[in-house]
Each structure stands twice: as structure tokens, then as C-alpha cells.
Amino acid sequence: MDNRKFGTFVATLRKEKGLTQQQLAEELCVTDKAISKWERGLGYPDIKLVEPLAEILGVSVIEIMRSERTDEEQVNAQSASEAITNMIDVVDYQRKIERRNVLIAVTTFALTVMSLFLIDTMDLVGFVLACLPIAMFAVGIVLILVSVKRKKLNLSYATPLTLGIFAIAFPIIIVLLMVVAFILGGPLPG
């Protein structure tokens, strides 16, 4: 299913009906941000909302799923099959979102438990200092990605790139210094 086509179709129908995103959102009991997201092609409505959405916009479910107007008499096997395929795409998309949400929840829970354990072991300041190299590495990756994106958009990218390189250098320098410290002194006897 073409999400941009779907978004444009919904936006056109909404405007034809003289509805604002806020009004449509209220009718469907969703947020206006959700409507904006669909119209920009960044997501689909929940499968349960397709029928009420079609009803409010004054079109059939098949038209919504095909993202184009069709005469009721002209609904043939091909257009019906296309609509069903699109419906399956929407369900697949929703499953992906659900799986992603579960993954985020599990990761957050695991990180929280690990953080609490580490804070308990090495007090808060120690925990922050121990996690700093990892955080700096992540920040560095993000900054480099930002600079790549800015370069593609023909914007200035020198600052995020420089900061990104320094941020990635942070954990590398820490590890190198620790290796030097280990070679110079070795582990202290307990």
C-alpha cells in the first residue's frame, strides 16, 4: 500500500468535507497528530478505524483501501483484491509497530534494572562516569548521522561532524589510557 497516496487521499476527502484535522480526530477519537501523521504518509490508522473513517469521509472501505475513488457498480475482482492486499499491508504495519513497542518496553525494563543494579554497586557519580564512554559513543554516532543528513540537504555540517568525531574518540581514548595504565602498573594485589 502506498502510504503517501493514502495520506493524500484522506487529506483531499477531509478538505472536500470541510473538516479540520482536529474535527476528524474528535470524530474518530484519536489525536490530531495521528491524522497529520496519516496525511503525511508516516503511518496508517488502526484497522478498526478504517470503517468509521470511510463513513465520515463519505466513501467506501474499498475506496479508502485503494486510496482512489471507484464507482460502486465498477467494483470488480481486481479492485477488491487490491483493497484486500492493502488491508493486509496495514495489518502487517500494525504488527510491526506492536512488535517494536514490545521490544522498546523490554529494552527499557532491562536497562532500568541494570542501571539500578549498577547504581547500587557504584553510587550515582560512579555510575555516571562509568556510563559516560558508552553515552559519548552513542552521541558521536548520532552526530555523525546528523552531519551526513545535513550534507545531503546541502546545509553546514562541520560542527556536528567535528563534535561527533570527538565524541567517538572519547571512549577510544579512555580504553587506550586504561591499556597504558594496565601495562604500566597491572592489577593491584587485593
Interacting residues with other proteins (CB under 8 A): 122, 126, 129-130, 132-133, 136, 158-159, 162-163, 166-167, 170, 173-174, 177-178, 181-182, 184-188, 190
The answer to whether the Cα torsion of 98, 102, 108, 112 is positive or negative is: positive
Distance CA 64, CA 53 (A): 8
If the CB atoms of residues 58 and 126 are measured against other proteins, the closer one turns out to be 126
If the CB atoms of residues 28 and 163 are measured against other proteins, the closer one turns out to be 163
If the CB atoms of residues 110 and 179 are measured against other proteins, the closer one turns out to be 179
Distance CA 35, CA 17 (A): 15
Axis-axis angle for helices 50-57, 21-28 (nearest 10) = 130
DSSP string, 91-106: HHHHHHHHHHHHHHHH
CB of 149 to other proteins, least distance (A): 18
CB of 154 to other proteins, least distance (A): 17
If the CB atoms of residues 91 and 138 are measured against other proteins, the closer one turns out to be 138
